[in-house]
Amino acid sequence: MSHRIQRALISVSDKSGIENFARQLAQLGVEILSTGGTYATLKKGGVPVREVSDHTGFPEMMDGRVKTLHPKVHGGILALRDDPAHTGAMAEHGIAPIDLVVVNLYPFEATIAKPGVSRAEAIENIDIGGPSMVRSAAKNHRFVGIVTDPADYGRVLDEMQKGRGSLSDEFRRELAAKAYSLTARYDAAISGWMFQKELESGTTTSRFPESFALAGTKVTDLRYGENPHQLAAFYKIGGSREASLAMAEVKNGKQLSYNNLVDLDAALALAREFDEPFVAVCKHNNPCGAAAAGTIAEALEAAWEGDSVSAFGSVLSFTRPVDIASAEFLVSGNRFVEAIVAPGFDEDAFRLLVDKPKWGKNVRLLAIGDLAGWARDPRELEVKKLVGGFLLQERDLAAAGEGDCKVATRRKPTSDELTSLLFAEKVAKHVKSNAIVIAKGTRVLGVGAGQMSRVDSVHMAVRKSGERVVGAVLASDAFFPFADGPELAIQAGVTAFLQPGGSLRDAEVVAACDRHAAAMVFTGARHFRH
């Protein structure tokens, strides 16, 4: 049902493009109503505009908290133009129709993302009038257009030009759906923040709210999902205080795929375990190589050699900017990766990667900025979608230190062995269970992942390690249910083990180590990842 737009109410926090948009609406014969800062902007820009308080006959008050919450505003938006009772009420009370509502909301998500923001400042950035107008206009979308995104200004003007001043039914429905997505995301952010504040203050003792809302903004459509016949898109959640793919700058390469993002997220999560120069090589959501070293190029070479066969077509994460030595290593030989996430790329390294044939057109390069300023946020929850529901859990951010290791065997691990065990445990946290990581120094030699029996994961890790396994150490994400896993590793050359302990057969497992003078420590912390 098309109606010519005669009157628009404009009240925006994000004022990008608003002056030009309002001016063109006015040129199309639309009367402009506005409030506060938006009114001042339009007035200063020479756009014909009328203040809402003049329209309602009621002044703004309470520092702007009350300005659009008025029957002449909401009646003008909500009235059904084809209902005589509604039009009669409008005539009786002097309510003029409002045919277009242009509103975006106070920046609540950006406000709570600022370090040290006070509760009072956050509360003041909870918009009331804006969401009320958005909901009213979206509800009455048969007659009213609701515009919440500056990116839609051009489309609105094009539609009005084509429709002789009106918007099509289809376009108004599309705008209404988008508007409700905005208010849903806005309310979800407020709800989550308020619950977190109650948790921090001790008002509530439950880690999880009775109702949990998750909403995001689409970053991009993806080429496809896990498989070509599945559609997919990437969304970001507002208010996050942690370095993530959602904030990364894509500097080069083909469109990201669903699998690229899943793998990159896993690689970045592993890299965040380390402050020193570190590189992770990930494939199918598991690290196949990882290393820490004195320089980032040395870490890359050691990580790649952990499993050079699996590394082809992998994704990489760096804790330091990619330098020219790293880029030269990657483009030499028969090496290729799908994507790299790093704090940044040195200019000469970037040029080499994008100018090299085969690399430049394909490899995705994501710059995430200095990781040192972004601590991992324990308030972030992990969400696992199930059919008909979802699971929530806290993140597994814990990692063992020397003080967490209880020596279970007669022989204690040497200082070098313990350093290597603690390194391997950090990596094992990010390997799909059953997880086995064999390492030497701060370098992964072999990984066993996702096997249904732990001894099979040991077999896999030993085979991947090859002859390098002699003198290496092994970390397991969960306890050994039998002695067969450690015995197999010892026969191959492993000299020390780390595991959480807790099996009914712990004594048998420890005895097997003692028979071969191998060291074993228990941490008491399991790190399953499914």
Report the catalytic residues: 139, 284
Judging by DSSP bridges, how do beta strands 100-104 and 7-12 pair with one another? Answer: parallel
Burial class (CB in 10 A: 0-12, 13-18, 19+), 84: exposed
Among 186, 261, 175, residue whose Cα is nearest residue 220: 261
The region that residue 461 occupies, defined by phi over 0 for left and psi between -120 and 50 for alpha, beta otherwise, is alpha
Q: Contact 146/86 with Cβ under 8 angstroms? A: no
CA dist 135 and 138 (Å) reads 5
Backbone angles phi, psi at 216, to 5 degrees: -145, 175
Beta strands across the sheet bearing 7-12: 50-51, 31-34, 7-12, 100-104, 145-147
Q: Contact 397/525 with Cβ under 8 angstroms? A: no
**Secondary structure of residue 437 in the 3-state scheme:** strand
Radius of gyration of the chain (CA): 30
Q: Contact 7/99 with Cβ under 8 angstroms? A: yes
Q: Which single residue is written with the structure tokens 């992770």? A: 280
The token duo for 103 is: 């509103």
